Amino acid sequence: MGTIASLQLPGEIPFSPLRQEAERIYKEVTDNFSAWDSSSALSHINQEAGHSSITVPQTFSPLLSRTLIVAKQSGGAFNPLVGPLIDCWGFHGRKDGEIKIPTDEQLEKIKPLIQFDQIQIKGQQIGLARKGMQLDLGGVAKGYAVDRVWVALTQRNVESALIDLGGNLRCIGESKKGRGGWNTAIRNPFRRRDLVASFLLHPGEAVATSGNYERFVEINHKRYAHIIDPRTGHPVEGTASVTVIAPTAEKADILSTTLFVLGQKDGMRFLEKYAKDCDAIWIPDTPQTPTLFCTKGINKRDFNSSWKTVILASST
């Protein structure tokens, strides 16, 4: 998945079997959902777009169906067919080596390829209606993978753990008896090595961050985030990072990407309507006036930051 995985297990338990189990799960998720590996199930679906359906492993359709729910709820801010736009902007590395801003005409041509109601799911058969359509579950697969490891460890009676896959975290129990969970932190999007805020993850909870500093392309000295607003065809500007705390890592992952696209105002509306059980922290792309915009639930998490912190009022 092009990132680093870590597993913290503070108890005195045999580590190797758990590590092996986590590695097995991460490999399975990559085999199913990787957009980079041309032999993954997802790549097979993309290769057959406009042709035929592919029989996928059992776990594939449920995850895809759940992402389609968020795609609809968010009015297409999250779009699992974002692949052709990602390609067009060169986020997966352009074959011709040259990076240019796509023309309006090019973006217009891609529009029919990102209509997510044209994904056909019939049980374990998945097909894309048009040639050129490309599934990309990069905004949700890591969180999903973390949940799978979380379930596996819980079933093996692990009582305390922190699972981290490239900034998608979920905890089991407490880091130490009496802590009330696991203390976690948010990176400074303007100086990656620094942390800007810390807070408590309650037992079982997850957190994910989408940031414009993780993956980007530079065109004419301007940085373009790897997250695209499918409604405009352009990379999202104005936001440096969005962190979401949620009951599961899949939810935290998909919502961090979704809220990055929606921005603060529409993002708050979305949370109030569809995800009341989540908290979010937006950092606007204003390094001169660094500010954190947080939902009010953050106050119940020993939240600490030296930056200016604004608690967002409800949108209604």
Instruction: Provide the binding-site residues for ligand AMP, judged by CB under 6 A.
Output: 78-79, 82, 86, 136, 138-139, 210, 214-215, 226-228, 230, 253, 256-257, 261
Distances (CA, A) of 307 to 9, 211, 213, 285, 300: 31, 18, 19, 14, 18
Q: In 10 A of CB 276, how many CB atoms?
A: 9
Q: Which of 257, 264, 295, 305 binds Mg ion (CB under 5 A)?
A: 257
**Minimum CB separation from ligand AMP for residue 101, in Å?**
17
Q: Out of ligand AMP, Mg ion, none, which partner does residue 136 contact, by CB within 5 to 8 A per kind?
A: ligand AMP
Q: Which does 173 bind (CB under 5 to 8 A by kind): ligand AMP, Mg ion, none?
A: none
User: Among 25, 5, 14, which Cα is nearest to 156's?
Assistant: 14
With CB under 5 A as the contact rule, the residue among 253, 270, 293, 301 that binds Mg ion is 253
**Does residue 139 interact with Mg ion by CB under 5 A?**
yes
Measured from the CB atom, the residue of 21 and 190 that comes closer to ligand AMP is 190
* Contact indicator for 174, 181 with CB cutoff of 8 Å: yes
Per CB under 5 A, the list member of 184, 212, 256, 295 interacting with Mg ion is 256
Chain centroid to CA 24: 21
Stretch that binds Mg ion, among 11-19, 30-38, 95-103, 135-143 (CB under 5 A): 135-143
134 touching Mg ion, by CB under 5 A = no
Pseudo-torsion of CA 125, 129, 134, 136, nearest 10°? -50
Q: Which long-range contacts (CB under 8 A, 24 or more apart) does 309-314 make?
A: 309/197, 312/264, 312/268, 314/268, 314/272
Interatomic CA distance for residues 5 and 171, integer angstroms: 14
Partner from Mg ion, ligand AMP, none contacting 44, C-beta within 5 to 8 A by type: none
Query: Looking at beta carbons, which residue is closest to ligand AMP?
Result: 138
Q: Identify whether the C-beta of residue 242 lies closer than 8 Å to the C-beta of residue 268.
A: no
Which entry of ligand AMP, Mg ion, none binds 82, CB below 5 to 8 A by partner kind?
ligand AMP
Tokens of 270: 């979305």
Q: Which is nearer to ligand AMP, 150 or 260 (CB)?
A: 260
